[in-house]
Amino acid sequence: MMKEGMTKKTNWTAMVVLILGLSAIVFPLYMTLVIAFKQPSEMTNSVSGILSLPKTWSLDNFREAMRVTDFWNSLKNSLLITISTVVLSIAVHSLMGYALGRNKSHSKFYSFVYLFIVSGMFVPFAILMMPLAKQTAEMGLANWFGVILLYVVFYMPMNILLYSGYLVNIPMALEEAAKVDGASTWRTYWKIIFPIMRPMHATVAVLTALAVWNDVMTPLVILAGSDQNTLPLAQLNFQTQFGTNYNLAFASYLLSLIPILIFYVICQKQILNGVVNGAVK
């Protein structure tokens, strides 16, 4: 307990950092909301004209943004690609991370494969862009299936790094006990290891979903010229040679933010619970 007469010191440095961090988040959100509800006639070159509240709060910009981007069709494509990528990433990358994580320490082959895959994190997409565009077109993969396949490959290095690192916290005694009971490696993985890695599943799901949902370059290169637009790709309609319609663009950004925000809120609880349970163990 704190003695009488003693006052709790305020950490002003931490408070200033928190205020600056909060401002860096709140201010862009405020700008997005204000501009999304404004009419183009209310936008002026002055700072006060941009920061001021709308004269009338209208949903006209949102309706027009949904029409221009073909919102429901684009949302369907984005959900299909994102959900499929997340499910495949968790199933495939966790299995690969388990195989490499358990064997790389005592096998040069597995260690080489692990380092080779993880090194893919350092390859910029710009180098792969043109070869991938040509290859997917020749193989008939210039569609949503090809985009999902590429995403599973692109995020493989990062996810395998996360899964193999998390396996360090899982004792080998669990697998040895299962082996004594007659369980095969395959059964041991799906019945014991896979459920234990739930916190990492949630982390991989959030990181992969955020990256896929907001990505523009891959759909732009692979799906260009088709009617299978994702939301970020459809939002390029607001940018023309002569300028950008910020009112419609910001309204569309808010609409596309809602699904991934709901997903993040749901998975956030799973991540927190998993971290707490992992700490207790």
pLDDT, one tens digit per residue, over 104-121 is: 888 899 899 999 999 988
pTM of the model: 0.81
pLDDT, one tens digit per residue, over 116-136 is: 999 988 888 888 888 888 888
Confidence class for position 160, pLDDT limits 50, 70, 90: very high
Confidence class for position 156, pLDDT limits 50, 70, 90: very high
Q: What are the strands, taking DSSP E only, across the chain?
A: 239-240, 243-244
Does the pLDDT value for residue 85 go beyond 50? yes
For 249-278, give the secondary structure using H, E and C. Answer: HHHHHHHHHHHHHHHHHHHHHHHHHHHHHH
Q: Tell me the Ramachandran region of residue 197: left when phi exceeds 0, alpha when psi lies from -120 to 50, beta otherwise.
A: alpha
